[in-house]
Structure 1
Amino acid sequence: MKLKKEFSVLLFIGLMMASIILSGHIPRVEVLAQSSKRVKGIDVREDINWSEVYHLGYRFVFVKATEGVNWAKPGFEKRVEDARRAGFLVGVYHFGLPVDKEGNPLNKAKDEAESFLQLAGNYLKEGYLRPALDIEDIKHPKLGELHPELLGKEKLAQWIKEWMDTVEGKTGVRPILYMNSFLFYFLRDSTIVDQYDIWIADPINREPTSIDFPETGGWKTWAFWQYQRDVNLANGKADLNLFNGDETELRKFIITPAKNFDIVLVIDRSGSMGDIWQGEMKIDSAKKSAEALINVILPGNRIALITFATDAHVDVHLTSNFDAVKNAISKAWPGGYTNIGEALKEALNELETGIGVMKAIVFFTDGHITTGMKEEDVLEGPVKEAIDKKIKIYTIGYGDPSYLREEFLRKMAESTGGKYYYASDSFKLENIFIESGLRTTGWKIESTFTGSVKEGEIVKAGTFNVAFGTDSIRVVLNWKGSNLDLKIYDPLGKEINFTAPNVIYSGDVKPEYVIIKNPLAGPWTVKVYGKIVPQKEEYYVWISTYVLPSAQAFSIHGYVPLLILSLIFLLIGIFTWRSISKKSLNNKL
């Protein structure tokens, strides 16, 4: 009887552990968790004995490459190559000069970023560590005492953001931000707080212990810590650093082949776009809808804007600066004929410069071709080129369908693997743009719900099932006017806290979205709350997912040890059962 009880307990434990793992309800460790095996590294401005430094246990290095505008540190290229040959993970950094010694603006951020790209661009590629921007209070040998904070909090934050956006927009690589702890504290409530991986200069002038950490100045976490400066090391001088993680986590800072998405947004601005449709000028409906699309594109992806009439014009080249795209859209004004072929050719040319793993075109028009290439030439020319280059085209027709050549627009889209949409009113147009934004950035639309809600009311929009192996789910809510809110419940009936570590929340914007990482497998529920609704409000909800290949989430995220443990319990249970059976048989004999 005792052995039977042991078998039952072990079998129960094994089955429970296996079911928990298969449900997906296992917390996953995030990068930059506090680690007891932090990696040592250095940053340098001069030559050093690389092999000796490596044997001392240092594993990464940042080399000063550039400063200000049109100035590169002599010999930095050789230092980078020598460090790589010695076995280091190597990145480069730029020393920014936003102010002079009086605190007046010195250089424009964009000019410095473009200079950095030109002079050090060869080291912002696959295999190198992500680059860094160095902003600090310093006594400059030529410029004197420099204090970037004299520029003012938001002006300094904007300078940093513009430099970062320019580099990321051209390379798809998000730089690291280096500053001293005072400047991080100075910018603790600015618009850029917690927007970047940070490298903190906070010297303690000794080797740190496992319980030593830098002062983050109110920022949530840190990636690199410069804990000693100007140390005599291996026939040279270096600053000493720690990475906040082990070597596996450090390798996640290596630049890899691009995984972002490039989207070209093509907007018709021909004369007919000035017509009134459903109580609003069509160009205004297009502007609002295009902005809704941009609002669901996640950081790291890139958007370009092309507007067209008699000719086509690239208003904004591919960029991750979404505000610049919105600003350009707001300036579009109708006038001229409709040259679809020229617009499509410009879009394809723009994508030639793209670095995304997926490239797509969202093409909006309210009419048919009135100048330029004929329909058959468009299909045989630029559309065929898109097919050959595996670029999907999503076409959107709007307004009076008698002015549209819907079959032509459908062929443009479907022959490339895209989709044609028709919108009869501005709310449908917004929703189509939002859906196009999701599809062109890798989200799979699983289901949609629509309905209406009145003030103070909470209505159930619908339920959806999350499969095992789903990496992330995304719920997007759009509405006509007023203000609605999402409420999401997991398979256990628990309401999702939008401030939880595994949740990304758009904030109180339109459209509103929530991304939940590592979701529980099973049925989920979405509800819509009529927060501020003067009259009954129509809403639209999308459910979309990212799924890991072959549902291998447990092996990718460290579930293997737990599976092995559960199997051990099961095997012990089986051997116990065999022992019980053998003993029982001997007793009978």
Structure 2
Amino acid sequence: MLDTRRVSPHRSPLRRSLTGVGGALFVLLVLVTAVPGAATGATPVSRHEPAHPGRDWMGSTVAAHEGRSGTAGTTTSATKTPGFDVSNWQGTVDWAGAYKKGARFAYIKATEGTTYRDPRFNTNYTASYSAGFIRGAYHFATPDSSTAKAQADYFVAHGGNWSKDGKTLPPMVDVEYNPYGATCYGLSKTAMVNWIAAFINEVHTKTSRWATIYTSTGWWTSCTGNSSAFAAKSPLFVAHYAATAGTLPAGWPFYSFWQFADAGTFPGDQDYFNGPVSGLKNLANNT
């Protein structure tokens, strides 16, 4: 019986040659399209998850890079409303006790990357509300681990949403010194601005709120070129552990929130809202 699987010995050298070229081209095409960004010319984004998200919180890298000076938060000529920010790192928070001591708002860590949800977020978010706090959720950004859209979507889906209930602050993105390596996550200034813009825009699409931006002037200057692109829409939460808030990032004429110390009267970091409680409520209501 004829074995039809056998290659005919009479196939021409030209046909064999073309077949070989075609196979090589096919392999080359597979290799090229397998490289992220090769087909579109886009800058590849590494895909990895943060190694220790439980140790990353608002300001976890600031003091090591910028230090502390003077008696933090002592020079406050205008009305300020005290508050604080927490994550899983603080353990169990006495929300009723903090309210009795005068705190009126809190930002609470919700997510990091696209797989980590703070294990105490639900408890903190619910307990703070019950104690009378105006509170909000934040995302610790890792711009080298995945796209801004992916992180924004994960944030909104896992606690970073917004409700017009008078007690929910705008969602917030925490962009600060990289706890895992290169200060600016290996991104150019333009790429970093684009990443933050994509995150802010995606959160706005999903929640109708322009996200608050948490950062320090030092990091912002180094990693965005001191961009003023976000000042018109996003409230500023500036980190500066000193007697005053210091020089602000470009474009913002004032801060909405100031993280003035990483320890103090309240759990976690010590913060001020730049105005009375009525102003805080207005921000919560998007007015």
* Pairwise TM-score range, normalised by the shorter structure: 0.5 to 0.7
Structure with more contact order per residue of length (Cα contacts < 8 Å, sep ≥ 6) = 2
* Residue of structure 2 equivalent to 1:113: 152
The question of 1:53 aligning with 2:104 is answered no
Q: Letter of the 1:214 partner, please give it.
A: G
**1:344-493 matches, cutoff 5 A:** none
8 A Cα contact 2:239 2:245, kept in partner: no
State the distance in 2 between where 1:35 and 1:253 align. Answer: 21
Residue 218 (structure 1) aligns with: 250
Determine if contact 1:188/1:218 at 8 Å carries over to the other structure.
no
Does residue 169 of structure 2 align to residue 136 of structure 1?
no
DSSP-derived class of the 2:152 partner: helix
RMSD between aligned alpha carbons?
A: 2.2
- Normalising by structure 1, what TM-score? 0.33
CA 249–232 in structure 1, closer or farther in 2 if over 3 Å, else same: closer
Alignment check: 8 A CA contact 1:64 1:93 kept: yes
Amino acid at match of 1:44: V
Structure-1 separation of matches of 2:104 and 2:186? 36
The equivalent of 2:82 in structure 1 is 40
AA partner of residue 206 (structure 2):
K
The answer on 1:156 being equivalent to 2:201 is no
- Higher fraction of strand: 1
Measured after TM superposition, the shift of residue 189 of structure 1 is 4.6
Structure 2 equivalent of residue 413 of structure 1: none
Q: Gapped runs of 5+ residues in structure 2?
A: 1-75
Q: Which amino acid aligns with 1:36?
A: A
Q: 1:37 to 1:228 in 2, by over 3 A?
A: same
Give the SS at the match of 1:87.
Answer: coil
Equivalent AA in structure 2 for residue 110 of structure 1: K
Give 2:282's aligned residue: 252
Distance 2:259 2:118 in 1: 21
User: Of residues 198, 203, 206 in structure 2, which corresponds to 1:167?
Assistant: 203
Shift of residue 202, structure 1, vs aligned partner? 1.0
Given that residues 35 and 245 in structure 1 are in contact (C-alpha distance below 8 angstroms), is that contact kept between their aligned partners in structure 2?
Answer: no
CA deviation digits over 1:479-531, x for unaligned, max 9? Answer: xxxxxxxxxxxxxxxxxxxxxxxxxxxxxxxxxxxxxxxxxxxxxxxxxxxxx
Give, as a single letter, the amino acid of the residue that structure 1 aligns with 2:158.
L
Q: CA deviation at 1:154?
A: 1.1
2:241 paired residue among 203, 207, 232: 203
**Partner SS, residue 120 of structure 1:** coil
Whether 1:180 aligns to 2:222 is: no
Q: What's the offset of the Cα at 1:138?
A: 4.2
**Structure-to-structure mapping, 1:66-81, within 5 angstroms:** 66-81=111-126
Higher Cα Rg, which structure: 1
Count of paired positions:
204
Identity %: 25
Q: Does 1:84 align with 2:84?
A: no
> 2: distance between equivalents of 1:153 and 1:225?
24
Q: CA deviation at 1:180?
A: 1.7
Please give the secondary structure, in 2, of the residue aligned with 1:148. Answer: coil
Measure the CA separation in 1 of the matches of 2:141 and 2:134: 23
- 1:193–1:126 Cα change, 3 Å: closer
Counterparts of 1:146 and 1:38 in 2: how far apart (Å)? 35
What CA distance in whole angstroms lies between the structure 2 residues aligned with 1:159 and 1:182?
Answer: 18
Secondary structure of 1:43's aligned partner: strand
Amino acid at match of 2:276: D
Distance in 1 of aligned mates of 2:247 and 2:199? 24
Please give the alpha-carbon distance, in whole angstroms, between the structure 1 residues aligned to 2:265 and 2:210. 31
Q: Distance in 1 between matches of 2:164 and 2:230?
A: 27
Change (3 A) 1:255 1:147: farther
User: Equivalents in 2 of 1:253, 1:218: separation in Å?
Assistant: 21
Change (3 A) 1:175 1:184: same
> Are the aligned partners of 2:228 and 2:249 in contact in 1 as well (CA < 8 Å)?
no
Instruction: Kindly state the Cα deviation for residue 149 of structure 1 after the two structures are TM-superposed.
Output: 6.0
Rounded Cα–Cα distance in structure 2 between residues aligned with 1:225 and 1:120: 23
Shift of 1:218: 3.2
Shift of 1:232: 5.8
- Counterpart in 1 of 2:163? 125
Residue 110 of structure 1: how far off its partner (Å): 0.4
Secondary structure in structure 2 of the residue aligned to 1:225:
strand
Matched AA of 1:224: F
Contact 2:220 2:226 (8 Å CA) reproduced: no
Secondary structure of the corresponding residue to residue 169 of structure 1: helix
Answer yes or no: is the 8 Å Cα contact 1:64–1:76 preserved in 2.
yes
